C-alpha cells in the first residue's frame, strides 16, 4: 500500500514538472524472458542498462531469490561498471535491491553485475558440484527511468518513450532499422487516417530531409538505407538533416565469423572448482544450418593447484562434445567439430566448462581459485549452408540476411507493422529489409501478405473456400473453417525457390487482425507449416507430410464415390452378372432355365 501511494505521489510530481518517467520490467526490456537460475558457489550475471543523453536518473529494482538453507555467511555483491556498489549477507538481501544509475561520460550503457559467494558446507569439494546452490534473478525485476523530453532527431528515435505511430507502410523498412538499433524495445502502431495522441508520429517526407517538427518526425522513403550500416545515429544531433545518395554494399557470401563479429568480447570468468562460459550461437547470424561446422577456440586458464587435476569440457545444447585434460595454465587453442545434427534453427549454446578437481587435501580451508578467459579471436567456420525451414517456428528462427516484405493491401498494414516491430526486438540478424521489390531473386527469405485468391499452389488454397484439416489415418477433422468466424492464416511455402512465410485470411480481411492478439514468442511455438489464428485460438499443423486438407465444396471423385457408391456398385453388378452367366453357358454348353 505504501509503495502504491509513493508511486501516485511520484506521478503527480512528474505531471507538474518537465521530467518524464517510464518503467520497464526485465521481460519488457528483453533482458529476461523467464526467471534466471544461476548455479554454483560463485554465480554471476551481467546486464546492461541504457543511459541515453536525456536520462536524468534511472533506478534498477532487482528481485533476487536465494535458498534459505545456504550457510549464513553466504553473500551477494552488486557491481556498477565493475566497481563494487553494495554487498549483502544472506539474511539481509532486501525484496527490492535498488541501484541508481546515471549517464557517465557520454556512455550509452551502464554495466550491472551480480556476483554470489554461496556455500552450504565447509567442504568445497562437495559444494562446487552441488545442484542445491543457486541464485534466482526474477524476470519481474524492473527499471524506472526519469528523463527529459527529446531535443533532436537522435533523441526522438532513441528514447525512453518508446511509443511510435506511422502513417505509411513504406516506412516499415525504416522502422525495422530504427528499432533494431534502439536499446529500448519499440512499440509501433500503424495509424494512417487517425490523429493519435498517445505516440510520437513518424510521417513520410516529401523531400530529401529528415525533419523534426512539432507534429512529428518527417522521414524520406529511402532513409532506411543509411541506417543499415549502423553509422548514421551520431549525425542526428540537429532537428534537420539532409540525406545524400547511399550505395548499398554488395551481398557477400562468407564461410567464417569471429566471436567479436558476433558481438562477443573477450571475457574472463573466475570462480572455485567449476566455472563456465557460454557462447550463444544464433544460426541466423551465419545464414542457416551448416553442412559441417567447426569452432577454433582460443582460451587461457590458471594452472591446476598442486595435486589438483583440471579438465576443459565443451558442450553444445547440453550435450558434451569433447573433454581435454589440461596439465598446466596459459594459452591454449582447440579445433572442435560441432555436429550439425545437434543444432537447430535459432539460438544454440556452446558452453566452455573448466573443471578443477580438488584433491582431498584441499577440500577444507583455503579455496582454490580458478580463472578462464575466452578470447574473441575464436571463430566459427563452415563450408555450405542450408536454408530449408520445415515449420513456421524454424522460418522465424532462420530469418536473416536479405529479406523481402511484400504487402500491398491496406488490410494487412497493421499486422505487418506489428510483425516488423517484433522482428526488430527479437531478431536483429536481418541486414536488408525491402518492401515490395520487383525482383525477388536477390533475397534469402520472403514475407508475403496475400489475399485468399492469391494462395493457389500453397499448403491451403484459400480461394477454394471452406476447408478442413484432417488426419488421413483416422479421417478425424482437426480443424474446420466453418462455422468459425473470420480468422488469420499463416503458411510456409516456397516462392522462386526461396523460403516464404505467407499471411492471409479466411472469409474477410478482418480475420488477419486476430494475429495481433498473439506475441512473437507465440509465433515461435508454431511447429507446423500452417497456422490458424482465431480470436481465442492459435494452432499449427503439418499439412502435406502428416495432415491433409479437404475442401467440402470441391466435388472430386471421392465425393461422388462416397455419395453414390451403392448405386455405382449395383450398376456394375448387373453387366458383371450377365457376363459371368454368358461365360458359364459357353463353357458348359448348357441351357440355363
- Say if CB 114 and CB 135 are below 8 A apart: yes
Q: Is the dihedral of CA 75, 81, 86, 91 positive or negative?
A: negative
**Adjacent-strand bridge partners of 356:** 310
- The 10 Å Cβ neighbour count of residue 260 is 14
Flag whether pLDDT at 243 surpasses 90.
no
From 84-88, 302-306, 330-334, the region with the lowest mean pLDDT: 302-306
pLDDT band at 5 (very low <50, low <70, confident <90, very high): very low
Confidence at residue 355, expressed as pLDDT on a 0 to 100 scale = 86
> Could you give the CA distance from residue 186 to residue 422 in angstroms, rounded to a whole number?
8
| Whether the bond into 483 is cis, omega within 30 of 0 | yes
**pLDDT tens digits, residue range 379-388?**
999 988 888 8
pLDDT, mean of residues 485-502: 93
Confidence at residue 420, expressed as pLDDT on a 0 to 100 scale = 96
> Could you give the CA distance from residue 139 to residue 33 in angstroms, rounded to a whole number?
7
Grid cell 580451508 in the structure block, residue = 365
> Could you give the CA distance from residue 192 to residue 165 in angstroms, rounded to a whole number?
9
C-alpha angle 201/205/207, rounded to 5°? 155
3-state secondary structure of 555: coil
pTM: 0.82
> Could you give the CA distance from residue 93 to residue 66 in angstroms, rounded to a whole number?
9
Confidence at residue 527, expressed as pLDDT on a 0 to 100 scale = 93
Flag whether pLDDT at 545 surpasses 80.
yes
3-state secondary structure of 584: helix
> Could you give the CA distance from residue 464 to residue 457 in angstroms, rounded to a whole number?
11
pLDDT band at 197 (very low <50, low <70, confident <90, very high): confident
**How, if at all, do strands 20-25 and 256-258 pair?**
unpaired
- The 10 Å Cβ neighbour count of residue 590 is 9
In percent, the amount of the chain with pLDDT more than 70 equals 90
C-alpha angle 423/181/399, rounded to 5°? 30
- The alpha-helical segments, DSSP class H, found in 74-143 are 124-128
Flag whether pLDDT at 318 surpasses 90.
no
Flag whether pLDDT at 96 surpasses 60.
yes
Residue 201 gets which letter from DSSP?
E
For the residues of 251-309, what is the DSSP string, one character each? P---SEEETTTTT---EEEEESSEEEEEEEEEGGGTTSEESSEEEEEEEEEPPPPTT-E
pLDDT, mean of residues 480-497: 90
Q: What is the mean pLDDT of the chain?
A: 86
Confidence at residue 161, expressed as pLDDT on a 0 to 100 scale = 94
- Say if CB 94 and CB 101 are below 8 A apart: no
Q: 125 or 75: which carries more pLDDT confidence?
A: 75
> Could you give the CA distance from residue 401 to residue 239 in angstroms, rounded to a whole number?
32
- Say if CB 121 and CB 127 are below 8 A apart: yes
Range of 231-240, 349-358, 362-371, 549-558 with top mean pLDDT? 349-358
> Could you give the CA distance from residue 196 to residue 96 in angstroms, rounded to a whole number?
36
Grid cell listed for 80: 556498477
Instruction: Give the distance from CA 19 to its chain's centroid.
Output: 33
Confidence at residue 3, expressed as pLDDT on a 0 to 100 scale = 46
Confidence at residue 110, expressed as pLDDT on a 0 to 100 scale = 94
**How, if at all, do strands 498-506 and 445-449 pair?**
parallel
Amino acid at each position: 500500500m505504501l509503495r502504491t501511494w509513493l508511486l501516485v505521489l511520484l506521478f503527480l510530481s512528474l505531471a507538474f514538472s518537465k521530467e518524464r518517467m517510464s518503467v520497464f520490467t526485465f521481460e519488457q526490456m528483453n533482458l529476461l524472458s523467464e526467471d534466471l537460475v544461476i548455479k554454483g558457489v560463485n554465480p554471476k550475471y551481467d546486464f546492461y542498462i541504457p543511459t541515453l543523453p536525456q536520462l536524468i536518473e534511472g533506478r534498477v529494482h532487482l528481485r533476487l531469490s536465494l535458498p534459505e538453507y545456504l550457510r549464513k555467511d553466504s553473500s551477494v555483491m552488486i557491481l556498477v561498471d565493475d566497481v563494487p556498489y553494495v554487498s549483502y549477507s544472506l539474511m539481509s538481501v532486501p525484496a527490492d535491491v535498488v541501484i541508481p544509475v546515471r549517464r557517465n561520460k557520454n556512455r550509452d550503457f551502464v554495466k550491472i553485475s551480480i556476483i554470489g559467494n554461496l556455500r552450504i558446507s565447509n567442504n568445497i569439494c562437495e559444494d562446487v558440484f552441488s545442484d542445491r546452490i543457486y541464485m534466482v534473478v526474477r524476470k519481474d525485476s524492473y527499471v524506472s527511468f526519469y528523463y527529459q523530453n527529446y531535443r533532436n532527431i537522435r533523441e526522438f528515435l532513441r528514447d525512453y518513450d518508446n511509443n511510435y505511430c506511422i502513417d505509411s507502410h513504406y516506412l516499415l523498412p525504416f522502422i525495422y532499422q530504427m528499432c533494431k538499433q534502439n536499446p529500448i524495445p519499440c512499440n509501433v502502431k500503424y495509424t494512417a487516417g487517425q490523429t493519435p495522441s498517445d505516440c510520437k508520429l513518424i510521417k513520410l517526407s516529401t523531400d530529401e530531409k529528415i525533419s523534426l517538427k512539432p507534429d512529428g518526425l518527417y522521414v524520406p522513403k529511402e532513409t532506411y538505407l543509411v541506417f543499415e550500416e549502423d553509422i548514421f545515429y551520431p549525425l542526428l544531433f540537429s532537428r534537420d538533416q539532409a540525406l545524400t545518395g547511399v550505395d548499398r554494399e554488395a551481398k557477400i557470401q562468407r564461410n567464417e565469423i569471429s566471436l567479436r563479429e558476433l558481438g562477443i568480447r573477450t571475457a574472463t570468468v573466475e570462480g572455485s572448482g567449476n566455472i563456465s562460459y557460454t557462447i550463444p550461437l544464433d544460426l541466423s547470424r551465419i545464414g542457416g544450418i551448416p553442412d559441417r561446422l567447426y569452432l577454433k577456440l582460443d582460451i587461457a586458464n590458471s594452472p591446476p593447484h598442486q595435486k589438483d587435476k583440471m579438465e576443459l569440457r565443451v558442450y553444445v545444447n547440453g550435450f558434451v562434445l569433447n573433454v581435454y585434460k589440461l596439465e598446466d595454465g596459459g594459452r591454449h587453442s582447440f579445433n572442435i567439430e560441432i555436429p550439425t545434427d545437434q543444432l537447430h534453427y535459432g539460438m544454440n549454446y556452446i558452453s566452455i566448462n573448466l573443471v578443477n578437481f580438488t584433491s582431498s587435501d584441499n577440500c577444507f580451508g583455503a579455496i582454490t581459485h580458478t580463472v578462464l578467459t575466452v578470447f574473441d579471436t575464436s571463430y566459427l567456420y563452415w563450408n555450405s549452408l542450408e536454408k530449408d525451414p520445415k515449420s513456421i517456428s524454424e522460418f522465424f528462427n532462420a530469418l536473416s540476411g536479405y529479406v523481402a516484405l511484400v504487402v500491398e493491401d491496406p488490410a494487412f498494414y497493421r499486422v505487418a507493422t506489428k510483425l516488423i516491430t517484433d522482428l526488430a526486438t527479437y531478431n536483429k540478424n536481418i541486414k536488408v529489409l525491402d518492401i515490395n521489390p520487383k525482383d525477388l531473386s536477390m533475397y534469402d527469405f520472403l514475407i508475403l501478405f496475400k489475399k485468399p485468391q492469391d494462395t493457389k499452389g500453397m499448403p491451403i488454397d484459400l480461394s477454394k473456400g471452406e476447408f478442413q484439416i484432417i488426419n488421413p489415418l483416422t479421417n478425424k477433422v482437426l480443424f474446420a473453417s466453418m462455422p468459425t468466424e473470420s480468422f488469420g492464416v499463416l503458411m510456409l511455402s516456397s516462392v522462386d525457390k526461396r523460403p516464404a512465410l505467407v499471411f492471409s485470411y479466411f472469409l474477410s480481411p478482418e480475420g488477419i487482425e486476430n494475429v495481433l492478439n498473439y506475441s512473437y514468442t507465440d509465433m515461435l511455438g508454431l511447429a507446423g507449416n500452417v497456422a490458424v489464428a482465431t480470436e481465442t485460438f492459435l494452432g499449427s499443423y503439418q499439412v502435406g507430410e502428416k495432415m491433409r486438407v479437404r475442401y467440402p465444396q470441391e466435388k472430386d471423385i471421392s465425393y461422388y464415390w462416397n455419395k453414390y457408391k451403392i448405386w455405382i456398385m449395383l450398376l456394375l453388378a448387373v453387366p458383371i452378372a450377365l457376363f459371368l452367366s454368358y461365360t458359364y453357358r459357353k463353357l458348359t454348353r448348357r441351357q440355363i432355365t
